[in-house]
Amino acid sequence: MSDDESGAQAGGHASDHLANERTYLAWLRTGLSTAALGVAVAKFAPGKGMHATVSGLALLTAGLTLIVYGTLRYNAVRRQLLRQRFSPARFSAVVTVTVAVLLVLIALLIFL
């Protein structure tokens, strides 16, 4: 039995797990960047009005939500790979896009 075959029987190929980790790191990077942008907007926006504070808090919350979701998704995919029963995240993909679009629309309303 080759290493590839034994790895598949033990719960997926190493490349699948490494891809899952890369995706997790992308979620973390995006979440941290969004949270940092929220802090920057709230702290350094011209005039530092209520709009900047609200926008900063919304971005900070979105960033933290991305980090939590990424962690939950990483663990779910890891378990699926170990069981060799992977299923795509259709519902959460739609929710993620919907939330992103809503945040952009809210930002447009605040700044226009």
Domain residue ranges in the chain: 3-111
- Residue-level pLDDT, tens digit, the chain, 112 residues: 444 444 444 566 899 999 999 999 999 999 999 999 889 888 887 777 787 888 888 889 989 999 999 999 999 999 999 998 888 888 888 988 888 888 788 777 766 6
Q: What is the pLDDT of residue 10?
A: 56
The tokens describing 51, both together, are: 């709009």
50 contacts: CB under 8 Å, gap ≥ 6 = none
- Which pTM does this prediction carry? 0.75
**Residue 104 to residue 97: CA distance in whole angstroms:** 11
